[in-house]
Amino acid sequence: MQERLLYEGKAKRVYATSDPQQVVVEFKDDATAFNGMKRGQIAGKGEVNAAMSVRLFRLLADHGMATHFRQQLDARRLLTDYLRMVPLEVVVRNRVAGSLQKRTGLPEGTELAEPVVEFYYKNDALGDPLLNGDHIRILQLASPDRVARLRADALGINHVLTGFLADRKLLLVDFKLEFGMVDDVLKLGDEISPDTCRLWDRDSLTKLDKDRFRQDLGDVEGAYQEVLRRVLS
Ligand code: UDP
């Protein structure tokens, strides 16, 4: 089924299949941070990220939300729709962390009265800069209608994920989504995992995500396994 390598990113490989409408996504154990400046491996990460993404894509489908997921092929590989990607990363935030902490000076962990949605330009050469609506318009990356739709979809996904994870004693601090098109239909693509979400234990506020790798907090593998255990419970 899996054929030519179409694309290799930092954490995933994408292969063509005999059907141009489908691709195979393979999750790697490789980890990078700070625009590729920090590199390493997280044992078992590929399998955790594949399994968690599958569970959460199914959850979103149960709530009527379109995703690229079709089928899990094995522990690291998913069969998905081929999407024409929107060149934006959509970040949703429920609490202050990471670049929002740097940008605002607010203390890490501050609860936001309403979720914040941000758009970043997927452009490695520019370092994926934050864009506002006018920037997206002059670059013609998405129409104003599509930007409104991305925002609404991201907030809907946040609502579903926040509740599901709260039931498992996980705080969804923030996360990144990527969307793409099949014909005229917008679908969620990429992954939903501890690489792309900040997840804290509800009671101890322990970080259980890629910040353990970024900040050298130790036991990265254990945190990823613990998140998966809770998500599958
Ligand atoms: N994120 C991501 N990929 C990126 C940048 C950010 O998955 O290239 C996720 C990140 O894990 C966090 C959220 O998006 O859950 C917000 O990230 P932030 O803007 O705070 O940047 P960071 O501190 O990760 O550089």
Ligand 1 center from residue 176 Cα (angstroms) = 6
CA 5 to CA 164: how far, in whole Å? Answer: 35
Ligand 1 center from residue 195 Cα (angstroms) = 8
Task: Break the chain into its structural domains and give their ranges.
Answer: 5-81, 84-219
Q: Which residues of the chain have pLDDT under 70?
A: 1-2
pLDDT given for residue 2 in this prediction: 67
CA 70 to CA 22: how far, in whole Å? Answer: 9
pLDDT given for residue 3 in this prediction: 85
Mutation test residue for ligand 1: of 34, 176, 193, the one with most atoms within 8 Å of CB: 176
- Considering only CA atoms, which of 73, 81, 21 is closest in space to residue 51? 73
**Secondary-structure class of domain 5-81 per CATH:** alpha beta
Specify the ligand 1 atom closest to the Cα of 100.
20
Pair 11, 30: CB distance under 8 Å: yes
CA 69 to CA 67: how far, in whole Å? Answer: 6
pLDDT given for residue 210 in this prediction: 98
pLDDT given for residue 35 in this prediction: 86
Residues with CB under 6 A from ligand 1: 91, 97-100, 128, 174-176, 196-198, 210
pLDDT given for residue 225 in this prediction: 98
pLDDT given for residue 1 in this prediction: 66
Q: Is the pTM of this model over 0.85?
A: yes
**Strand-pair partners of 39:** 32
Q: CATH assignment of 84-219, given 2.40.70.10, 3.30.470.20, 3.90.1150.10, 3.30.1490.20?
A: 3.30.470.20
pLDDT given for residue 131 in this prediction: 98
